[in-house]
């Protein structure tokens, strides 16, 4: 917090600090501080392996509220989104490495299949039949569109060809 009780934001980081008196930056937003003096927020984030971000928030900012406030700031969200992307890929890589070991053990067929099919890339195209709720929802959505188009056509004096209404 600053002297007036507000959360410090830009003054926390070398790249965005205005060098306010008594508020020297305490982190760099880059992977490595060019001057070699400040710890890297990126490095702390990625090394903590904390996808919940709670430990990170408490360690670096002293509170969850302060971190959440920073995340609402456009300039900071660009950085934190890059950190999040990298952490997600890192965790995915570590999980795949563990699966590779498990795939070679007895009973590791599901893990081997997951690896062979590149399961970490998602299941696009392998979804299966939509649920009854999805089918009903889509029918309702299409009925509303037909109704709107029919009303518009009627107002304009046009004949609806493939709808329920016709003149």
Give the torsion sign (CA, 130, 136, 138, 139): positive
- pLDDT, tens digit, for every residue of 2-44? 667 778 888 899 888 876 666 789 899 999 988 889 999 999 9
pLDDT, position 62? 94
Percent of the chain clearing pLDDT 90 (strictly above): 35
CA distance linking residue 56 with residue 150, whole number of Å: 55
Query: Which H or E run includes 79?
Result: helix 74-103
- pLDDT, tens digit, for every residue of 120-162? 666 555 567 888 888 888 888 888 877 777 777 777 777 656 5
**pTM higher than the cut 0.85:** no
The count of other CB atoms within 10 Å of the CB of residue 164 is 9
Determine contact, residues 53/67, Cβ cutoff 8 Å. yes
- pLDDT, tens digit, for every residue of 37-58? 999 999 999 999 999 999 999 9
């Amino acid at each position: 917090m600053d002297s007036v009780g507000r959360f410090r934001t830009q003054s926390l980081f070398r790249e965005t600090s205005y060098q306010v008196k008594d508020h020297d930056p305490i982190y760099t937003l880059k992977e490595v501080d060019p001057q070699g003096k400040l710890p890297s927020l990126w490095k702390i984030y990625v090394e903590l392996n904390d996808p919940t971000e709670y430990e990170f928030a408490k360690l670096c900012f002293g509170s969850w509220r302060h971190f959440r406030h920073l995340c609402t700031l456009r300039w900071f969200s660009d950085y934190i989104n890059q950190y999040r992307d990298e952490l997600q890929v890192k965790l995915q890589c570590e999980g795949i490495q563990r699966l590779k070991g498990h795939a070679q053990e007895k009973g590791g067929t599901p893990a081997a299949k997951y690896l062979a099919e590149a399961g970490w890339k998602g299941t696009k195209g392998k979804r299966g039949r939509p649920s009854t709720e999805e089918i009903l929802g889509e029918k309702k959505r299409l009925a509303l569109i037909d109704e709107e188009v029919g009303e518009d056509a009627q107002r304009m004096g046009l004949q609806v060809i493939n709808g329920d209404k016709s003149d």
